Structure 1
Amino acid sequence: MILETGRIMAIETEGVWVETIRKSACGSCKAEKGCGQSLINKWDGHTVYIWVLLEGRNPADYHLGDEIQIGIPEEVIAKGALLVYMVPLITLLLATVFAHHQFAHEGISTLSGFAGLLLGGLIVRWHSWRNRLNSDLQPVLVDDRKPLHFYQAVEQH
């Protein structure tokens, strides 16, 4: 689970909006000077607002400006990155190959590849919209009510 500390910016009945500054990964990597994330972060200091479900907790227990810790499961990040990068790439390649075999014209193949890339982006956008309320894909509050459990491998003799 990737942990991040943030500040509550808005409170609603089902969840809270949390402001985070993307610095958790910076400094832990040796490629800091060549990292796009680090450069963008230094350039604009951009803050990110994340929707975190309360999962039945009482919204009155939280106040604006409170610092809370949220966690995002690694498999959610890995699957999301795979979806965001691979779907547009695959649709680009499929559209290009299809157009090349059908028309054998470079301009049409190029335009078809661009259309495939846009189609892939639309598929990712649709999937994101469809799963926006999926609690398995949402960040979770890490507190005494829902503690993290780390399982250690049992040594076999």
Structure 2
Amino acid sequence: MIEQLASVVAVDTSGVWLTTTPVSSCNACNVSDDCGTGIVAKTLTPRQHRFFVSTSLSLLPGEQVKIAVSEQNLLQAAFVVYLLPLVLMLLSALYVSNGLQLTEGWVMLAALLGASIGFFIARRFSLWQQTKTEQIHIIQVLPELKIHPA
């Protein structure tokens, strides 16, 4: 299981809305302010992810929880979102180039069409996975630390 900390932002009758802050390795480097990759990562990385998790726990906004997702689900999602469009793009370009012997314009168009079909399938698969099972589980409610003045 892959674990991450999340904050409760809203409570619903059937679950809670959580936010997580993405962890980037670019923040740990000493030259991240001067590095092109670090600047792009800070610019394009969303500040927080917000999502709904159904649970019977009685949580309050502001509480911290530890959530987990299985490695299998994560790898499966990565395959569908990244690898499937790439494979369909390459296969369609190869088919049009070698099988049909068409010009470069048609090859590029076929590659774009193959990638688009891959992204369409990935979108349908993600919607089907969301309705199939609950992917994210709350495994622990973290205690709050309160400091009392002396």
User: Shared fold (TM-score greater than 0.5)?
Assistant: yes
CA-atom RMSD in angstroms = 3.0
The alpha-carbon deviation at position 135 of structure 1 amounts to 2.2
Give me the whole-angstrom Cα distance separating, in 1, the residues matched to 2:63 and 2:12: 14
- Matching residue within 102, 108, 114 for 2:106: 108
Residue 76 to residue 12, structure 1, CA distance change in 2 (3 Å) = same
TM-score (norm 1): 0.72
Superposition pairs for residues 102-141 of structure 1, below 5 Å?
102-136=100-134, 138-141=135-138
State the 1:133 CA deviation. Answer: 2.5
Change beyond 3 A, Cα 1:35–1:53: farther
Asked if the contact 1:22–1:41 (Cα under 8 Å) also holds between the matched residues in 2, the reply is no
Mapped partners of 2:38, 2:132: distance in 1? 27
Q: Secondary structure at the match of 1:104?
A: coil
Residue by residue over 1:78-111, the C-alpha shift from the partner in whole angstroms, topping out at 9 and shown as x without a partner, is 1211111111011101211222222421111111
Aligned position for 2:146? none
Most deviating of 32-41 and 84-93: 32-41
Residue type of the partner of 1:131?
A: Q
Q: 1:69 touches 1:141 (CA, 8 Å); kept in 2?
A: yes
User: Normalized against structure 2, the TM-score is what?
Assistant: 0.75
What aligned pairs does 1:15-54 form with structure 2 within 5 A after superposition? 15-23=15-23, 26=25, 40-41=41-42, 46-54=47-55
**Identity over aligned pairs, percent:** 21
Aligned residue for 2:61, secondary structure, equals coil
Q: Secondary structure in 2 aligned to 1:46?
A: coil
Cα distance change on mapping 1:122 and 1:35 into 2, 3 Å? farther
- What per-residue deviation string (whole Å, max 9, x for no partner) do you get for residues 16-49 of structure 1? 11011112x648x88x957968963477661111
Instruction: Give yes or no for the alignment of 1:6 onto 2:6.
Output: yes
1:57-136, aligned counterparts within 5 Å?
57-58=56-57, 61-100=58-97, 101-136=99-134
Cα distance in 1 for partners of 2:104, 2:36 equals 35
> Matches of 2:15 and 2:44 in 1, distance apart?
31
The answer for unaligned runs of 5 or more in structure 1 is 145-157
